[in-house]
Each structure stands twice: as C-alpha cells, then as structure tokens.
Amino acid sequence: MKDLRLKAIYNQTQVFLDELMVPANDRAYLFGDAVYEVLRVYHTKPFLLAEHMARLARSLDAMEIKGVSDIRADILSSIALNEIEEGMVYVQISRGNAPRNHSFYNQALTPNILISAKPFLTHPTLKEAECGITVITHEDFRWGRCDIKTVNLLANCLAQSKAHSLGADDAIFIRDGHVTEGSSSNVFLVKDGTIKTPPLSRHILPGIRRQFLINAFCAEGNPVIEQPIHEEELFLADEVFITSTIKEAISVTMIDNKPVGSGERTIATLARKLIVDRAQL
C-alpha cells in the first residue's frame, strides 16, 4: 500500500506535513498575517499556474510582504513528492517571525513559505457536481479587503459552519443588499440566458475560475455581464452556480430553503465542462 503521509515543503525543506511545527511567533499565528493560494492539480500538472502566481504576487504586494522568490519549482516538487495525479496544492506565505507587535513597519522580516499538496483519491466534488448544493444567504461581515487572499478567514469559517449547522452546504454573502461571494467561491447567476456575476471590487476575490469562465463564455459567444447582483435576483434566477479552484463550477439548487428556478442546470454544466475540458489539454 502506498505511503499516504503527506509531504510538504517548508522554507525549502522537505517535511512530513503531520509533523510540521512552526514558530509561535510567526505572524500568521499571532495576527493571521499571511496570504495563500490553492491550486488544482489535473494529471500531475497545476492548472492555471501562471494565473495563481500572478494573484499571489498581487496579494504579497498589497500586504507589503517582501523577499519572496519564485516558488514554482517547489510547487512542482510538492506534486512530485506526493506522487499526485489528481489533487491540490496549498501555498501559504506569512510575513515572518517577530515578537508580537501589530506594526511591521521598517521590520526586515523573512517570510515563511509553506507548500503542501494532497492527492484526491476520489473526485472531491463529484457528488456536488451531480446533485448541486444548498446554500444560505449570510450577511457579509468580512473585512474591507476581500480582494486580497489572506488567511484572515474567520468570517468565512463562521459563515460556512453556520450553513452546515443549518443543514446547508455553504453560504452566499450579502453586503448592503447585494451578492458578493460564497464562503470560498465566486457566484454566478443566469436569467433569461444572460450570465451575470458581481464586478470586481474590494469585497470580491478575483477568482481564477471566475476570470477563466468570463473569458471562456465570451469565446462561446455568451459574454458574462459583470454587474452588481441584488439579493432578490438570486430568487428570480433560472440558475445560480458557484465557482472555485476545487469546486470548479457547481449548481446551487436551494437558497434559504427556496428552490432555484425550475432546476435548470444548462449553463452551470457548461461552465464545469469548459473548465474541465481545458484542464485536460
């Protein structure tokens, strides 16, 4: 039987993930002062690697975390080390270790880089892709820079846990009456054949699958309209679906216990196919 202990790369050193210890004065531990990326591996290759690296660079820049060199080789190593055919890679980069002090101004810290990978022994979201998911709406009480992919994720954790406690699969955030995101996904809806998603802002993560689908639907001749979506539109939509690196594209069948449209899933299914087909290339 294959050794299933996951191996990670921490500051360029190979470690077993379940043994990995990090300093208690890492600012990720004390302040959630870190950024991250999740990549999907199809057929041993990280999908849309360049796009994920560009977003990571943007997060590091926005957080003023300096001194991070190219980690592509380590990402590929983490996939090879764990002999991953289908799976994912998690990258977390913290600002570094320092005595606890909110301010990082003029501190020359060395970022800590964790890269872990795990194989999917079965498809992670096949059931969800087939059956769709149910969601609750939830006040978007996250901070004002959700466009930066940081580990300050408590609001996301609380909302997703709340959804689970209510028997739903996930939560869709509503800010000032408008849809922002899922708890770890972007949101699309379809009404009378038109596909819509909220425009980028400080309240929305620039999802890699979101942008991929905007491009792909445009090439299909059905451009996605990036426009604010009022909460009520969710309940009038023909289709609602969420997208993320791991979820790809998944239909939402119920929102706050109300069925979405008449159960149509044409566009969500196409969205998923567009992602998966491209990933197979």
Contacts of 81 (CB under 8 A, 6+ apart): 7, 9, 14, 117
**Using the rule CB under 8 A, which residue among 2, 3, 4, 21 binds its own copies?**
21
Give the tokens for residue 73: 């080789």
Residue 200 binds to its own copies (criterion: CB under 8 A): no
- Block residue for tokens 């216990």: 257
Buried b / exposed e over 157-173, threshold 16 CB at 10 Å, is eebbeebeeeebbbbbb
Residue 174 binds to its own copies (criterion: CB under 8 A): no
CB count in 10 Å sphere of residue 199: 11
Q: Which is nearer to its own copies, 106 or 262 (by Cβ)?
A: 106
Instruction: Report yes or no: 13 and 20 within 8 Å, Cβ to Cβ.
Output: no
> How near is the Cβ of 264 to its own copies at its closest, in Å?
28
Q: Which is nearer to its own copies, 164 or 278 (by Cβ)?
A: 164
- Helix (H) / strand (E) element for 203: namely none
**Using the rule CB under 8 A, which residue among 152, 194, 201, 222 binds its own copies?**
152
118 flagged as catalytic: no
Q: Which is nearer to its own copies, 63 or 133 (by Cβ)?
A: 63
Gap between the Cα atoms of 55 and 117, Å rounded: 19
Residue 121 binds to its own copies (criterion: CB under 8 A): no
Q: What letter would DSSP give residue 110? A: P
**Rule CB under 8 A: which of 57-96 touch its own copies?**
63-64, 90, 92
**Chain residues in the site for its own copies (CB under 8 A):** 8, 10, 17-18, 20-33, 63-64, 90, 92, 100, 102-106, 114, 139, 141-145, 150-158, 160-161, 163-165, 183-184, 202
Give the residue numbers annotated as catalytic, written as ranges.
149
